[in-house]
Homo-oligomer: A and B are copies of this chain.
């Protein structure tokens, strides 16, 4: 393939000036260019498969229609469903995403922001894998920025997050409504904000029901962490009739432990996962009831906020957008009952 055609090529072929080409192709020809010449321009453009050079437009307009995305991964995976939805939404407005993975290193993140700035991104989107505080640097503040799944403690930046306390509350209420009273709470590190918020929510639900909140069993976030914690708790006398897991893989481990101990779910043990982003919960056996954050809608909203800011020079007010979670009822929750299951055999 030869070199891409330029507006000059189109102008030459159509027998008009470069500016005429620009005017016609951008729909600003009426009253300026004769109909005849307009047709000639369109024909020439089509013949040469002309499309404008986005880099040249960027230099001219001082806008790249590019959003710089700063993200990092918590354990194994990047927050994929979030980024997917964000990318899709951005495309709708002809924005492209330039993504940088800090790997959790703040200094590196700063350098990446500089790279993004040098690339003349129009704005920044910061996407956290799990909800957290994020202190924006000056550079971040110098361009339109929206925080997704994280919040600026200073409150200086618009952010989009789910109500993680509500997540915990909803998950607990599902079990309380079914009559569960002895509930095991399998969690990740309590030092993580997202864990702390969910645990708080669980506690609120219990207190609201006139019960004392369950003591968190800090397990971790992997399958084997959940397996170990669940196995131990299930081996204790007066074992719980239900588990709440703050992480999806923890729930997988709990199901596995229950299966191995011959404790049928949900007959003898109910299970709620406070996460389902990896899509493990819905296809587990039995499918797990989970508390769902509307990640796609959140990402769309975050991008929409940013795009609006980029389109409108008037500085918009800072907003804290809080999304509600939804309980996805599946088959892992039942009333406590007396089913019991067979005793552990190993």
Whether A260 sits at the interface, judged by CB under 8 Å, is yes
B283 and A223 contact, CB distance less than 8 A: yes
Q: Contacts A59-B56, A224-B287, A278-B76 given: A51-B118 contact, CB under 8 Å?
A: yes
Whether A114 sits at the interface, judged by CB under 8 Å, is yes
How many residues of A sit at the interface, in one of the four size bands? 35 or more
| Alpha-carbon distance between A260 and B342 when the two chains are bound, in angstroms | 11
Whether A78 sits at the interface, judged by CB under 8 Å, is yes
A285 and B80 contact, CB distance less than 8 A: no
Which B residues are in CB contact (< 8 Å) with A115? 96
Contacting B at CB under 8 A, from A154-194, are none
Chain A, 277-295, contact with B by CB distance < 8 Å: what is the 0/1 string? Answer: 0111001110100000000
Whether A138 sits at the interface, judged by CB under 8 Å, is yes
| Alpha-carbon distance between A96 and B253 when the two chains are bound, in angstroms | 38
Which B residues are in CB contact (< 8 Å) with A76? 278-279
Which B residues are in CB contact (< 8 Å) with A249? 280, 283
| Alpha-carbon distance between A213 and B232 when the two chains are bound, in angstroms | 41
| Alpha-carbon distance between A222 and B253 when the two chains are bound, in angstroms | 16
Q: How many copies does the complex hold?
A: 2
Give the shortest distance, in Å, between A95 (CB) and chain B (any CB).
Answer: 11
Chain A, 97-117, contact with B by CB distance < 8 Å: what is the 0/1 string? Answer: 111010000000000001101
Which B residues are in CB contact (< 8 Å) with A77? 77, 80, 278-279
B55 and A59 contact, CB distance less than 8 A: yes
Whether A84 sits at the interface, judged by CB under 8 Å, is yes
Contacting B at CB under 8 A, from A214-259, are 222-225, 227, 249, 252-253, 255-257, 259
Chain A, 62-85, contact with B by CB distance < 8 Å: what is the 0/1 string? Answer: 001000000001001110100010
Which B residues are in CB contact (< 8 Å) with A136? none
B222 and A283 contact, CB distance less than 8 A: yes
Which B residues are in CB contact (< 8 Å) with A52? 118
Which B residues are in CB contact (< 8 Å) with A80? 77-78, 80
Which B residues are in CB contact (< 8 Å) with A223? 280, 283-285
| Alpha-carbon distance between A77 and B77 when the two chains are bound, in angstroms | 9
A101 and B118 contact, CB distance less than 8 A: no
B256 and A119 contact, CB distance less than 8 A: no
Whether A47 sits at the interface, judged by CB under 8 Å, is no
Which B residues are in CB contact (< 8 Å) with A139? 1
| Alpha-carbon distance between A5 and B55 when the two chains are bound, in angstroms | 20
Which B residues are in CB contact (< 8 Å) with A87? 99, 101
| Alpha-carbon distance between A58 and B64 when the two chains are bound, in angstroms | 12
* Residue from the list B1, B96, B262, B284 in contact with A138, Cβ < 8 A: B1
Whether A22 sits at the interface, judged by CB under 8 Å, is no
11 A-B pairs within 8 Å (CB atoms) are namely: A1-B139, A51-B118, A54-B118, A77-B80, A78-B84, A84-B101, A222-B283, A227-B285, A255-B256, A264-B346, A278-B278
Taking Cβ atoms with an 8 Å cutoff, the residues of A that contact B are: 1, 4, 51-56, 58-59, 64, 73, 76-78, 80, 84, 87-88, 96-99, 101, 114-115, 117-120, 138-139, 141-142, 222-225, 227, 249, 252-253, 255-257, 259-260, 262, 264, 278-280, 283-285, 287, 342, 345-346
